[in-house]
Structure 1
């Protein structure tokens, strides 16, 4: 994109490209194919570069959008401006593979770039054939990095696969710890003592209630009586 914007013959101002899975009648198959995604785009281009007032007024701007039947393959083969279709398609597939991996939707095969028998679409990060295909020109791409920090990859997967081992992902797990009490049976001695103590406390409370009730009844019956007193 930096190369496109730096081209003085291309007056691209801004735009968007939208990639989406095809409809159910044409499911995702080969991730290396340029027809893997359906494409839609909008962008505007300045027709009058030197007259900024005309550009902002709208008279110096052309608007471009997808025509019926256009695909990534047809746009790339015709060189339609801004001609970043293959690069954008590869970037979209990288994002797609990253998100699918994060969600645990990964293909189990590492020998084909097509949909598995279980219906799981191929994934660049877990598919050796696809990763080898998309990383074959990584050394060439590094020459166009302008304002980005290079990643850890410095060569194609084909050159490094003997050092990295087989591709694979670990399932994401969400876990937490709970503090809970595990029921444990008391020993016979402890159980007997606990019951006796509880019974004694209950009997003591019952006796206290009985004595208070008796005192109240006697006092009510004979207010001049001196319960428990001495003469």
Structure 2
């Protein structure tokens, strides 16, 4: 008995077209090249996670991806996630100078109300419309570490209050920051006694960031001078004086919005309190016309008379912060962009008096050192933070070759099936059109012994006629016995 398998195979025969084989070979070569390029563009890269400080530059570095059609490389385009800066976190700008603490974030709602956010969603947006509202200076001589007192008897902590804005795809976002500066912090090392400390600034460059270089010099110099003035005034108190021996104090400098010139005596209006060893020992409220100014307090010799140096320190902090935040179009003047102002504020640098510390990095006036520093300038700033990015990377050669070969074979098989089905469809259509004429040609030719339904020779099928033995087969068909 003949075995019949569960599986079967079709009976095939060559296509009767001379053009079929050349077209298949040439088309195969063309499609192999096309599919290889297409699969290389779509499958040769994989995304890996990478940290970046500049997401815009990271996204711009696409390698060869920009040479391929975008629909092939959509899934492997570089992309970076926005950074999240929570409230109370510290940050700095790309100028790497001062450090800031984020205190609040809000947006304007539809009705104009503030919509508070717990964090700032940030994607390297340019800082805009930054303004310093006030600068507070806290003086202290008691609650300081011994090594701090070794540098100077009094210390000063400047705290500036700032508001900025950024533009995002969802609209404007506002946020408040504080900046704290202390030239002799608790973390200072005592072996730096009498040396330039360089605290409060992350980096400095007198050629590429000359304005910030001079800003640090102004802040450290005025800080050293004003703390020594407090020390001298307390040491000059006599037994019969009615002045109290000061231990702590605070001076708040508030911006006067109506005066744009920073050199104006009324640029800052101020308020202050100084305290002695007892809670009822307070130095304040001189009875002068308000708003109080440093010039008016100095003219009246109000105790403790540190007002002009404290005012200069606040203006140095104000100017340095706006330079660090990149506020070139600020409505008020800036010491660090005006050569005349900077020359006047630094003219006594070489003779500045301070305790056991040295200011810097500049040790002389601007007029003496301007040939060795760069130009005074402000550049736009962004917050420096780390972004998580996905960037394309070329796959290993072995994996890439296998992936392209497999993809090419799949696509070539699909093209071959389409090509073959098209040829078969054309062939079957041609056979249907020629079949009636073949049947007509055999009408009346019964003596040929070929049934009318015999397939034509052009169809490629062979015909095997049944040969009957006249009598014997006839008897078998009628059921008779032999």
**Shorter-normalised TM-score: what interval?**
0.5 to 0.7
Return the TM-score normalized by structure 1.
Answer: 0.61
Give CA-to-partner distance per residue, 1:137-187, whole Å, 9 cap, x none.
11222xx210333212111101222332421244334474723349xxxxx
1:166 to 375, 380, 391: 375
C-alpha distance in structure 2 between counterparts of 1:196 and 1:165, whole Å: 65
- Counterpart CA distance in 1 for 2:284 and 2:272 is 8
Deviates more, 1:132-141 or 1:169-178: 169-178
- Whether the 8 Å CA contact 2:252–2:271 is kept in 1: the answer is yes
Task: Give the whole-Å Cα distance in 2 for the aligned partners of 1:36 and 1:21.
Answer: 6
Work out whether 1:18 is the aligned partner of 2:240: no
Deviation at 1:65, TM superposition (A): 2.8
Distance 1:106 1:162, change over 3 A: same
Alignment of 1:126-165 (within 5 A): 126-141=337-352, 144-165=353-374
Q: 1:125 to 1:195 in 2, by over 3 A?
A: same
Q: Distance in 1 between matches of 2:413 and 2:335?
A: 71
Shift of 1:121: 1.5
Q: 2:325 aligns with which of 103, 111, 114?
A: 103
What displacement does 1:135 show?
A: 0.5
Tell me what 1:194 maps to.
410
- Superposed, which structure 2 residues align to 1:73-88 within 5 Å? 73-88=295-310
Q: Deviations over 1:29-54 (max 9, x none)?
A: 22122211111111234xxxxxxxxx
- State the alpha-carbon separation in 2 of the partners of residues 44 and 171 from structure 1: 42
Q: Distance in 1 between matches of 2:286 and 2:380?
A: 39
Structure 2 partner of 1:64: 284
Quote how far apart the aligned CAs of 1:120 are. 2.5
Task: State the Cα distance separating 1:191 from its structure 2 match.
Answer: 4.9
Question: Which runs of 5 or more structure 1 residues have no equivalent in the other structure?
Answer: 46-54, 108-118, 183-187, 199-231
Name the residue aligned to 2:46.
none
TM-score normalized by the length of structure 2: 0.31
Match in the other structure for 1:120: 331
Displacement of 1:91: 0.3
Give the 3 Å change call, closer, same or farther, for CA 56–76 of structure 1 in structure 2. closer
Q: 1:197 to 1:102 in 2, by over 3 A?
A: farther
Higher Cα Rg: structure 1 or 2?
2
In structure 2, what is the Cα distance between the partners aligned to 1:138 and 1:5?
24
Work out which structure has the larger RCO, using CA pairs closer than 8 Å and 6 or more positions apart in sequence: 2
Q: Of Structure 1 and Structure 2, which has the larger fraction of its residues in strand?
A: 2
1:30-69 matches, within 5 Å, as 30-45=261-276, 56=278, 58=280, 61-65=281-285, 67=287, 68-69=289-290
Aligned mates of 1:96, 1:57 — CA distance in 2: 32
Where 2:327 maps in the other structure, the secondary structure is coil
3-state DSSP of counterpart to 1:42? strand
Name the SS of the counterpart of 2:389 in structure 1.
Answer: coil
CA distance in 2, matches of 1:66, 1:17: 14
Across the aligned residues of Structure 1 and Structure 2, the Cα RMSD in angstroms comes to 3.2
- In structure 2, do the counterparts of structure 1 residues 84 and 171 end up closer, same or farther at CA, with 3 Å as the change threshold? same
Change (3 A) 1:62 1:168: closer
Structure 2 residues without counterparts, runs of 5 or longer: 1-229, 394-403, 415-482
Count of aligned positions: 169
Instruction: Give how far 1:80 is off.
Output: 1.0
Q: Does structure 1 conserve the Cα–Cα contact (< 8 Å) formed by 2:274 and 2:283?
A: yes
